[in-house]
Chains A and B, each alone.
Chain A
């Protein structure tokens, strides 16, 4: 009995650690969706880009991934800003269909481009931290890299949340997500703010990619599964609510972990999407009620 209890505790803790990385991915997507009403189908591909940046730094310059993720974030911010200015800006007012095609196209170009440059081979990095397990007791142990990335995630997520809720720029951002046209009439430079939020959304996913690298592995399609997960989180969290998406990420991590433990791993994704469908049809404003950012 006691063993069963501890095994549930282990699963929940691991779920929270995995979920915290999901949360970052989801927050990035929610920010972009909230401000631009764009479903970024290239989200996972950009995450993969962040992973490759961190990998190259580690491989060529021996920069720890726990510093490298900062570079990945900066690079993705710039990429996001420029992508918006160069491409997205032209379609942001047009039909959703065009936005979907454009981001999908970007995703294909990134995945195949990376494959051309780095090849399709898998890469992984080995750092000493991977061998460290923190044992809470006889039954519960946590892997150190996941704990470190959890700590970093909490800091980044809090900073991002504070920025959106408290800063002047964040207020402009929320104004746009409420009503883009009214915001522009109030003198907010909509295009500029959107470019910044696209950059920030990608920076968040870049951090997630950098932190995931040590515990996962890398290939050009590595990010694809996260696009769909981010999608689920945005819906669970309430269509563009950043805080909601963050909580949804953690919920998703824990649900997946518990599903794996009690039903089997192959059901984890099924449950993800059942949750997604249920929320879409029964509670379209998201699990946590609040609409928008």
Chain B
């Protein structure tokens, strides 16, 4: 405990530096601002440089004569790191499989990772680094719509093809760049599948949109607003929210006041949990809880690591589930589970399908150059566990979406009928749930 001795000298005699400091003030001068020393500046530079260059060091230096190098940009650190990790695991499963079968053009494939730290500017840096230093002829990535959108001018300028595994915002397909390909369905796909499901299962008349205020969320909501209007469903509420907040109760009160028959969410995992828990507290009781996948389609969502019992009855448009009826889905599920100890969500499958498609295109077109690979991707047609893959003139793969419902803690595909494994169960009011 400190001593409060009365008197000019404290319990510890002040050291020389302290005394000098005191005398400076005794003379009434303000403390001199001490300039940072050159050493300090150098340390700062090192710090900044260290932060800026956290590229993952999995790539070997030097020319890759023996291997076929493909660049990957994803979010290994930062807010989307969990998804970047899913990407990495999905790529790893594909890589093992492809290299066992001879890789690309008879050479083993080597993935050169660049960690974009979940930041758009870093994703752009990644393109420059991968193309200029690692000389890769093809890039896969990134994770989020935000980071992916930022990369597009760079890949177009450098004339390197980019295959996007997971960016769902529609604006990543609107640049008109001939170098850009997308394997997943976009925001419009989510909206049309959801509307299609709703029209055939009770046809609600009103819908409320709740979405995070990001490229992904806005794109999902915009697409849904357009599709709902086309289907004659009135959008009674439109709520953008600040992601990663602990409190959405007031927002949910607003929605509840409008009494929508359906709610459409575009949220990441943990916000999805917060939103549903607080929806119970507020007593928000729509007939349909629907969503644009992502948080509502994550593997953890219906488990105790996610929303648990609050996830029950929610619908989600989903790119893929381990139970999808495309050949190879179960095998991928098994290989992924063996690698990581948990079941894959569709993000990992999308990464897997992206690399498989890339390798198929390279082998099919015997292409080694960026331009050659881009042409080969345009021509490729193959069946993957992610469904059939073929790109249209704009570079979009016509991927069919599934609608799932959480039933007894499991995702069950309930729509379209040819993929369905269960019937949709009507959503009871919160008060009537056990």
Binding site for B on A (CB under 8 A): 3, 7, 10-11, 14-15, 18, 93-95, 97-98, 101, 105, 108, 112, 115, 119-124, 126, 130, 133, 141-143, 168-169, 172, 181, 184-189, 192-193, 196, 212, 215-217, 219, 221-222, 225, 256-261, 264-266, 268-269
Contact = CB atoms under 8 A, between A and B. Distances in A.
Contacts of B85: 119-121
A207 to B, nearest CB: 15
Interface string B144-158: 000000000000000
Nearest to B253: A7
B250 A257 contact: yes
Given A101-B44, A115-B81, A257-B247, A188 B2 contact: yes
A115 B12 CA distance: 41
Contacts of A196: 2
Contacts of A15: 250
Nearest to B277: A130
A189 B81 contact: no
B159 interface: no
B251 A260 contact: yes
Contact of B246 (A3, A212, A269): A212
Interface in B91-139: none
B240 A264 contact: yes
B5 interface: yes
Contacts of A112: 77
A187 B44 contact: no
Contacts of A219: 79, 270
B230 interface: no
B8 A185 contact: yes
Given A124-B273, A126-B304, A266 B213 contact: yes
Interface of B: 1-12, 14, 21-22, 25-26, 31, 33-34, 36, 40, 44, 47, 51, 76-79, 81-82, 84-85, 213, 239-242, 244-251, 253-254, 257, 269-270, 273-274, 277-278, 280-283, 304-306, 308
Contacts of B283: 141
Given A126-B304, A133-B281, A187-B8, A265 B248 contact: yes
Given A101-B44, A115-B77, A120 B82 contact: yes
B308 A121 contact: no
A120 B81 contact: yes
Contacts of A269: 242
B396 to A, nearest CB: 30
B242 A121 contact: no
Q: Which of A130, A168, A196, A217 has the most CB of B within 10 A?
A: A217
A256 B242 CA distance: 12
Contact of A265 (B84, B240, B304): B240
B4 A188 contact: yes
Given A133-B280, A217-B270, A256-B250, 6 more contacts: A120-B76, A124-B273, A184-B22, A256-B247, A265-B241, A268-B242
Contacts of A123: 305
Contact of A181 (B8, B22, B246, B253): B22
A261 B250 CA distance: 5
Given A10-B253, A124-B305, A264 B3 contact: no
A169 B44 contact: no
Contacts of B270: 122, 124, 217, 219
Contacts of A130: 277
Contacts of B244: 222, 225
Contacts of B253: 7, 10-11, 261
A41 to B, nearest CB: 14
A184 B240 CA distance: 52
B12 A189 contact: yes
24 contacts: A10-B253, A10-B282, A11-B253, A18-B246, A94-B34, A108-B47, A119-B85, A120-B81, A121-B81, A121-B82, A122-B269, A124-B270, A124-B305, A130-B277, A141-B283, A181-B26, A185-B8, A188-B4, A189-B2, A216-B274, A221-B78, A225-B245, A264-B254, A265-B245
A255 B269 CA distance: 27
A142 B280 CA distance: 11
Nearest to A180: B25
Contacts of B33: 94-95
Nearest to B268: A122
Contacts of A187: 3-11
A7 B254 CA distance: 9
Nearest to A258: B250
Contacts of B2: 169, 172, 188-189, 192-193, 196
Contacts of A122: 82, 269-270
Contacts of A193: 2
B4 A168 contact: yes
A112 B281 CA distance: 35
Contacts of B8: 185, 187
Top 10 nearest A-B pairs (CB, nearest first) are A120-B81, A260-B250, A265-B241, A261-B250, A216-B246, A265-B251, A217-B270, A266-B240, A181-B25, A187-B5
A266 B254 CA distance: 13
B239 A264 contact: yes
Contact of B34 (A95, A256, A258): A95
B242 A221 contact: no
B242 A266 contact: yes
A130 B213 CA distance: 27
A115 B51 CA distance: 14
A266 B241 contact: yes
Nearest to A121: B82
Nearest to B430: A133
Nearest to B33: A95
A210 B305 CA distance: 18
Contacts of A126: 304, 308
A93 B19 CA distance: 13
Contacts of B77: 112, 115, 120
A169 B1 contact: yes
A131 B270 CA distance: 17
A215 B246 contact: yes
Contacts of A185: 8, 22
A108 B4 contact: no
A14 B244 CA distance: 17
